[in-house]
Structure 1
Amino acid sequence: MNKSELVEKIAEEADVSRAAASRTLDAAIKVVTEALQAGDQVTLVGFGSFVVAEREARKGRNPATGAEIMIPASRSPKFKAGKALRDAVN
Protein backbone atom coordinates (compact mmCIF):
# COMPACT_ATOMS: atom_id res chain seq x y z
CA MET A 1 0.00 0.00 0.00
CA ASN A 2 1.41 3.39 -0.94
CA LYS A 3 0.58 6.82 0.48
CA SER A 4 -2.26 7.62 -1.92
CA GLU A 5 -3.92 4.25 -1.22
CA LEU A 6 -3.52 4.88 2.52
CA VAL A 7 -5.11 8.33 2.17
CA GLU A 8 -8.01 6.77 0.25
CA LYS A 9 -8.58 4.16 3.00
CA ILE A 10 -8.38 6.80 5.76
CA ALA A 11 -10.89 9.00 3.94
CA GLU A 12 -13.22 6.04 3.53
CA GLU A 13 -12.93 4.86 7.16
CA ALA A 14 -13.24 8.32 8.70
CA ASP A 15 -15.90 9.50 6.23
CA VAL A 16 -13.92 12.63 5.30
CA SER A 17 -12.66 14.03 2.02
CA ARG A 18 -9.44 12.73 0.50
CA ALA A 19 -7.93 16.21 0.89
CA ALA A 20 -8.71 16.26 4.62
CA ALA A 21 -7.34 12.74 5.05
CA SER A 22 -4.17 13.70 3.19
CA ARG A 23 -3.64 16.82 5.34
CA THR A 24 -4.23 14.76 8.49
CA LEU A 25 -1.75 12.06 7.45
CA ASP A 26 0.85 14.69 6.50
CA ALA A 27 0.38 16.40 9.87
CA ALA A 28 0.72 13.10 11.76
CA ILE A 29 3.94 12.25 9.90
CA LYS A 30 5.30 15.75 10.57
CA VAL A 31 4.52 15.53 14.32
CA VAL A 32 6.13 12.09 14.65
CA THR A 33 9.21 13.27 12.72
CA GLU A 34 9.59 16.38 14.89
CA ALA A 35 9.22 14.34 18.08
CA LEU A 36 11.90 11.87 16.96
CA GLN A 37 14.21 14.75 15.97
CA ALA A 38 13.83 16.10 19.51
CA GLY A 39 14.80 12.68 20.91
CA ASP A 40 11.30 11.82 22.13
CA GLN A 41 9.53 8.49 21.77
CA VAL A 42 6.06 8.32 20.19
CA THR A 43 3.87 5.53 21.59
CA LEU A 44 0.50 4.61 20.15
CA VAL A 45 -1.04 2.11 22.56
CA GLY A 46 -2.13 -1.02 20.74
CA PHE A 47 -0.19 -0.07 17.60
CA GLY A 48 3.46 0.44 18.48
CA SER A 49 6.25 2.85 19.32
CA PHE A 50 8.52 5.02 17.22
CA VAL A 51 11.93 5.40 18.87
CA VAL A 52 15.36 6.74 17.96
CA ALA A 53 18.22 4.22 18.11
CA GLU A 54 21.72 5.55 18.75
CA ARG A 55 24.58 3.88 16.89
CA GLU A 56 28.09 4.52 18.15
CA ALA A 57 31.04 5.23 15.85
CA ARG A 58 32.79 2.05 14.79
CA LYS A 59 35.46 0.69 12.50
CA GLY A 60 34.48 -0.84 9.20
CA ARG A 61 36.07 -2.02 5.99
CA ASN A 62 35.74 -0.71 2.46
CA PRO A 63 34.55 -3.82 0.58
CA ALA A 64 36.27 -2.76 -2.65
CA THR A 65 39.74 -2.11 -1.22
CA GLY A 66 39.68 -3.78 2.19
CA ALA A 67 40.92 -0.54 3.74
CA GLU A 68 39.79 0.17 7.29
CA ILE A 69 37.46 3.17 7.65
CA MET A 70 35.72 4.89 10.54
CA ILE A 71 31.92 4.84 10.38
CA PRO A 72 30.57 7.89 12.25
CA ALA A 73 27.98 7.72 15.03
CA SER A 74 24.39 8.06 13.84
CA ARG A 75 20.78 8.10 14.94
CA SER A 76 18.18 5.96 13.23
CA PRO A 77 14.38 5.84 13.59
CA LYS A 78 12.94 2.46 14.58
CA PHE A 79 9.40 1.12 14.91
CA LYS A 80 8.52 -1.47 17.53
CA ALA A 81 5.14 -3.09 16.91
CA GLY A 82 2.78 -3.32 19.89
CA LYS A 83 1.26 -6.55 21.11
CA ALA A 84 -2.17 -5.84 19.60
CA LEU A 85 -0.64 -5.22 16.16
CA ARG A 86 1.54 -8.34 16.37
CA ASP A 87 -1.48 -10.41 17.40
CA ALA A 88 -3.60 -8.97 14.57
CA VAL A 89 -0.95 -9.83 11.99
CA ASN A 90 -0.48 -13.34 13.31
Structure 2
Amino acid sequence: MGMISVKKKELIEKIAKASKAAKSVSESVLNAFLKIVSQTLKKGDKIQLIGFGAFESKEPSSKCWT
Protein backbone atom coordinates (compact mmCIF):
# COMPACT_ATOMS: atom_id res chain seq x y z
CA MET A 1 0.00 0.00 0.00
CA GLY A 2 1.61 3.25 -1.14
CA MET A 3 1.14 6.85 -0.19
CA ILE A 4 -0.77 9.19 -2.48
CA SER A 5 -0.04 12.92 -2.35
CA VAL A 6 -2.99 15.26 -2.70
CA LYS A 7 -2.69 19.02 -2.89
CA LYS A 8 -4.81 21.04 -0.48
CA LYS A 9 -6.80 22.54 -3.36
CA GLU A 10 -7.61 19.05 -4.67
CA LEU A 11 -8.68 17.89 -1.22
CA ILE A 12 -10.98 20.91 -0.86
CA GLU A 13 -12.58 20.05 -4.21
CA LYS A 14 -13.06 16.41 -3.17
CA ILE A 15 -14.61 17.44 0.15
CA ALA A 16 -16.93 19.90 -1.60
CA LYS A 17 -18.06 17.27 -4.08
CA ALA A 18 -18.55 14.53 -1.49
CA SER A 19 -20.43 16.79 0.92
CA LYS A 20 -22.27 18.81 -1.74
CA ALA A 21 -21.04 21.94 0.03
CA ALA A 22 -19.54 25.06 -1.51
CA LYS A 23 -15.77 25.02 -1.97
CA SER A 24 -15.48 28.02 0.35
CA VAL A 25 -17.28 26.12 3.12
CA SER A 26 -15.15 23.02 2.51
CA GLU A 27 -12.00 25.14 2.65
CA SER A 28 -13.08 26.72 5.95
CA VAL A 29 -13.82 23.33 7.50
CA LEU A 30 -10.52 21.84 6.30
CA ASN A 31 -8.57 24.86 7.57
CA ALA A 32 -10.27 24.59 10.97
CA PHE A 33 -9.50 20.86 11.15
CA LEU A 34 -5.84 21.37 10.22
CA LYS A 35 -5.51 24.19 12.76
CA ILE A 36 -6.94 22.02 15.54
CA VAL A 37 -4.68 19.09 14.62
CA SER A 38 -1.62 21.35 14.46
CA GLN A 39 -2.34 23.06 17.79
CA THR A 40 -3.03 19.74 19.50
CA LEU A 41 0.19 18.16 18.22
CA LYS A 42 2.23 21.22 19.20
CA LYS A 43 1.01 20.73 22.79
CA GLY A 44 2.33 17.17 22.64
CA ASP A 45 -1.12 15.59 22.64
CA LYS A 46 -2.37 12.86 20.31
CA ILE A 47 -5.55 12.88 18.23
CA GLN A 48 -7.32 9.58 17.63
CA LEU A 49 -10.24 9.33 15.22
CA ILE A 50 -11.93 6.04 16.07
CA GLY A 51 -12.32 3.90 12.96
CA PHE A 52 -9.84 5.99 10.98
CA GLY A 53 -6.45 6.47 12.60
CA ALA A 54 -4.35 8.68 14.81
CA PHE A 55 -2.17 11.75 14.54
CA GLU A 56 0.79 12.15 16.83
CA SER A 57 4.05 14.02 16.82
CA LYS A 58 7.31 12.16 17.29
CA GLU A 59 10.85 13.34 17.80
CA PRO A 60 13.11 12.69 14.81
CA SER A 61 15.49 9.78 15.11
CA SER A 62 19.01 10.67 16.16
CA LYS A 63 20.38 8.26 13.56
CA CYS A 64 22.32 9.85 10.74
CA TRP A 65 22.11 8.27 7.33
CA THR A 66 25.15 8.58 5.10
Shorter-chain TM-score tier: 0.7 to 0.9
In the alignment, does 2:5 pair up with 1:3?
no
Letter in 1 for 2:30: L
What CA distance in whole angstroms lies between the structure 2 residues aligned with 1:55 and 1:12? 37
The higher radius of gyration belongs to 1
Give the C-alpha shift of residue 55 in structure 1: 4.6
Quickly say closer, same or farther: Cα 1:53–1:18, change in 2 above 3 A.
Answer: same
Aligned-pair CA distance for 1:12: 0.8
Equivalent in the alignment of 2:35: 30
- Structure 2: runs of 5+ lacking an equivalent: 1-5
The aligned amino acid for 2:46 is Q
Alignment CA distance shift 1:54-1:16 (3 Å): same
Q: Summarize the Cα distance change of 1:51–1:17 in structure 2 as closer, same or farther, 3 Å threshold.
A: same
When the two structures are superposed, what TM-score results if normalisation uses the length of structure 1?
0.58
Higher relative contact order (CA 8 A, sep 6+): 1
Identity of aligned residues (%): 35
Which aligned segments of 4 or more residues in structure 1 are displaced greater than 4 angstroms? none
State the Cα RMSD in Å: 2.0
Distance 1:28 1:45 in 2: 16
After TM superposition, the score normalised by the length of structure 2 is 0.77
Aligned equivalent of 1:41, options 43, 46, 64: 46
Deviations 1:33-88 (A, max 9, x none): 000011110111122111121357x586xx7xxxxxxxxxxxxxxxxxxxxxxxxx
